[in-house]
Amino acid sequence: MKLLRNILIVLAIIGLLLIPKFFCGNANKQEQGKKGGNKAPIGISVYKVMQENIAEIYKVNGTLLPNEQVELKAESQGLIKKVYFKEGANVAKGELLLKLNDTDFQTQLNKALATKKLKEDNALRNSVLLKKEAISQADYDVSVSELSAIEADIAYLKEQIRKTELRAPFSGTLGLRQVSEGAYITPASSIATLQDASQLKIEFSVPEKYYAKINIGDEIKFTINNQSKTYTAKIYAREAGLSDATRSIVMRALCNNSSAKLIPGLFATIELQLATNNNSYLIPTQSLIPVLKGQKVFKVQGDTAVEVMVKTGFRNEDKIEITEGLNSGDEVIVDGIMYVKQGAKVKVTRK
């Protein structure tokens, strides 16, 4: 029994030693069979690279602003005597909008005007007496000084009366009224807003890398949400420098709004034509593969996929510009690219 048990133990050990060799041998044979066999080529579609004429378009969001806007406030404080404007009305420059109570100033002005008459008569009389040497030069100078002083008082009172009137600083459209007749207001009180929307400003920001490609006088196109019409405007000004926080520069364009179809505050989608390139290579964006050292594509040489590192430029909605790495006539893989590796055999369907 002991001998039989020892024989079984030896056989078990030999079996354990042979099992890995058996399986590894089969695996090696299978692997060798795979290497030795012919793989089926990968089905792909390609895009033929050709030189194209493209306009480099950059899209950015902006906001419509009124050509002029002001929050109307009185220059002095007092009781509102009369409101002359209607909410939402169009007004002309210089039109009277509101009047404060000026009774005190009017009374003082009438008194000053009466005093001025006396001072004028006194100065005229002293002028005659001075010529006859009936009074001294000093007496005559006092009368002239008193006349000048009363004239200054009259000018001051007229200015105070002017400040009780609120007039439109420019032609435009009034907003909602914030005060009523009989209310007591101060220079801090808001009365209404006035906007000139006959022209509108479009304000937008441009990244630093596009700054040199956009100039004063360039025309832009923009659209408004829920409107199919495309509007045009012309860039007329830009900020003096770039923003440290966003590395962008704020620009403004001006568009005509005589039809009053646009209002301030609307959100605009702006298209800027940065440049026109007559010798560009464009490929579908799905052909581009980002990698650690940059970006690559697979192009087809005969029936083989070849990996090519490329440099890119402008990108639009479905294509991207290749500035380095491809030539006219090259065929880049578009569909089936996820199954392709360097040197893989491919079966091409051309688009």
Same domain, 159 and 84: yes
**Domain boundary residue among 160, 185, 210?**
185
Q: Distance of alpha carbon 296 from its chain centroid, rounded?
A: 33
Q: What pairs with residue 83 in β-bridges?
A: 98
Region of residue 88 (left: phi > 0; alpha: psi -120 to 50; beta: else): left
Q: Does the residue 6 lie in any domain? A: no
CATH number at residue 344: 2.40.420.20
Q: H or E element: which one contains 320?
A: strand 319-324
Q: What is the token pair recorded at 69?
A: 């806007």
Same domain, 172 and 85: yes
Q: Does the residue 230 lie in any domain? A: yes
CATH number at residue 208: 2.40.30.170
**Domain boundary residue among 166, 185, 204?**
185
Q: Does the residue 127 lie in any domain? A: yes
pLDDT range class, residue 30, cuts 50, 70, 90: very low
Same domain, 292 and 317: yes
pLDDT digit string (tens) for 191-233? Answer: 999 999 999 999 999 999 888 889 999 999 999 988 889 999 9
Look at residues 342, 275, 262 and name the one whose alpha carbon lies nearest to residue 313: 275
Q: How many C-beta atoms surround the C-beta of residue 60 within 10 A?
A: 18
192-207/165-167 β-pairing = unpaired
Same domain, 177 and 85: yes
Q: Does the residue 27 lie in any domain? A: no
Could you tell me the CA-to-CA distances from 88 to 91, 173, 174, 266 in Å, in that order? 9, 6, 5, 18
Cα dihedral: 251, 256, 261, 266 (round 10): 10
Contact 137, 128 (CB under 8 A): no
- Per-residue pLDDT averaged across 3-22, rounded? 58
Give me the pLDDT at residue 293, please: 86
Please provide the distance, in angstroms rounded to a whole number, between the alpha carbons at the two ends of the chain. 79
Same domain, 270 and 284: no
Q: Does the residue 2 lie in any domain? A: no
Same domain, 138 and 205: no
pTM for the whole structure: 0.65
Question: Is pLDDT at 37 greater than 60 in this prediction?
Answer: no
**Domain boundary residue among 277, 295, 330?**
277
Give me the pLDDT at residue 32, please: 44
Give me the pLDDT at residue 278, please: 65
Pairwise CA distance, residues 130 & 124, whole Å: 10
Q: How many C-beta atoms surround the C-beta of residue 123 within 10 A?
A: 18
How many Cα neighbours within 13 Å face the side chain of 269?
10
- What are the two backbone dihedrals, phi and then psi, of residue 53, each rounded to the nearest 5 degrees? -95, 120
Number of independent structural domains in the chain = 3
Looking at 1-5, 172-176, 336-340, which range is the least confident one?
A: 1-5
pLDDT range class, residue 22, cuts 50, 70, 90: very low
Same domain, 241 and 322: no
Write out the residue range of the structural domain in which residue 225 sits.
58-66+195-277
pLDDT range class, residue 82, cuts 50, 70, 90: very high
Task: Name the one residue in this structure whose structure tokens are 């200015």.
Answer: 159
Give me the pLDDT at residue 323, please: 86
